[in-house]
């Protein structure tokens, strides 16, 4: 019986670079109020959101991804040709096939990199990061590009008072590569499919195609149920990720949760008993909820503004439709 040669990868993996892209158009709450019965004060108090970015026709899922990825690759100090795999998390690429990752890989100039899309909603970046870590350590790719990208304005019902103000567009990307020491902790992830109806697409594409509904499908959610689940259950998952990494809350430098809602963020900070010394990402205020893009976009902004610095220890957690979640501790690039 022949023996298979073992894979030779890096001992550990780390995030080497990060990049982000936000569409040119900035949309204040006043625009949202043109189609729903609400107020700027109500939107801010319920979500913390003041503005969000919406993409124009040229700012496609692929185009935004290429912009963010170019920055991440440059930040990592490598070339596109060195990228061995491209992993894209998105729910708003409207071509069932081929994967948008293949288009992105080609436009970036990678050398026949493996490329595929995943659908894990707001936890998608964490899922992609976990896959990338495995590839680098296993040896199937030396450098992996992980992209979270959304055009949620295409899936927003502007007449739905519960969700019209929430969503924004954008792309965030990181390069994951070899490390001599641990820099991406164990991932605590999972799903609770019994709660899948709390965040979902209103109707299947086939209902729209067959004329059974006149309105284009959109994302809808049961706000209170999602809030309770995120606050109580995801705080437990975040604590598990800290324990798995051997880190205490007092040892954290940065907390980067999915930018769903500032009230959720505040409640998680309180439940986790994070000290005031921990920098908390609040990109949701000006970027809105960008699903899979929210964590890398928030990470990029914290580093760009100096609120966080290279080498800081950060807890990241994403959670959303499915219901799915993923949390881990990372060293910032």
Give the residue numbers marked as catalytic.
122, 258, 289
Helix (H, G, I), strand (E, B) or coil at 149: strand
SS3 label, residue 121: helix
CA distance 246 to 242: 6
Q: What share of the chain is helix, strand, coil (3-state, %, to 5)?
A: 40, 25, 35
Instruction: Give how far Cα 6 sits from Cα of 177, 182, 298, 300, 324, Å.
Output: 20, 21, 38, 36, 33
Question: How far is Cα 265 from Cα 235, in angstroms, rounded to an integer?
Answer: 10
Helix (H) or strand (E) holding 329: strand 324-331
Q: Across-strand partners of 18? A: 174
How far is it, in rounded angstroms, from Cα 67 to Cα 64? 5
Length of the chain: 333
């Amino acid at each position: 019986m022949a023996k298979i040669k073992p894979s030779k990868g890096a001992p550990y993996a780390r995030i080497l670079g990060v990049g982000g892209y936000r569409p040119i158009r900035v949309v204040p709450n006043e625009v949202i109020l043109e189609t729903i019965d609400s107020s700027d004060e109500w939107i801010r108090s319920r979500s913390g959101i003041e503005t969000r970015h919406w993409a124009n026709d040229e700012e496609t899922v692929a185009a935004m991804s290429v912009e963010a990825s170019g920055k991440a690759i440059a930040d990592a100090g490598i070339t596109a040709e060195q990228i061995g795999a491209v992993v894209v998390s998105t729910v708003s690429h409207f071509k069932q096939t081929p994967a948008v990752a293949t288009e992105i890989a080609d436009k970036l100039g990678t050398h026949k990199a493996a490329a595929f899309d995943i659908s894990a909603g707001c936890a998608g970046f964490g899922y992609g990061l976990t896959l990338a870590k495995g590839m680098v350590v296993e040896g199937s790719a030396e450098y992996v590009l992980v992209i979270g990208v959304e055009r949620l304005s295409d899936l927003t019902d502007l007449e739905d008072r519960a969700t019209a103000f929430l969503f924004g567009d954008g792309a965030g990307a990181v390069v994951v590569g070899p490390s001599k020491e641990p820099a991406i902790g164990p991932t605590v992830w999972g799903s609770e499919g019994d709660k899948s109806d709390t965040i979902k697409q209103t109707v299947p594409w086939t209902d729209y195609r067959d004329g059974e509904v006149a309105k284009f499908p959109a994302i809808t959610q049961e706000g209170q149920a999602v809030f309770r689940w995120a606050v109580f259950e995801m705080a437990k998952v975040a604590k598990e990720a800290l324990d798995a990494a051997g880190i205490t809350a007092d040892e954290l430098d940065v907390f980067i949760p999915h930018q769903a809602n500032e009230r959720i963020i505040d409640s998680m900070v309180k439940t986790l008993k994070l000290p005031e010394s921990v920098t908390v990402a609040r990109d949701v205020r000006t970027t809105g909820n960008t699903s899979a893009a929210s964590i890398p976009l928030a990470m990029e902004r914290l580093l760009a503004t100096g609120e966080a610095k290279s080498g800081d220890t950060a807890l990241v957690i994403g959670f959303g439709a499915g219901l799915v979640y993923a949390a881990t501790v990372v060293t910032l690039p």
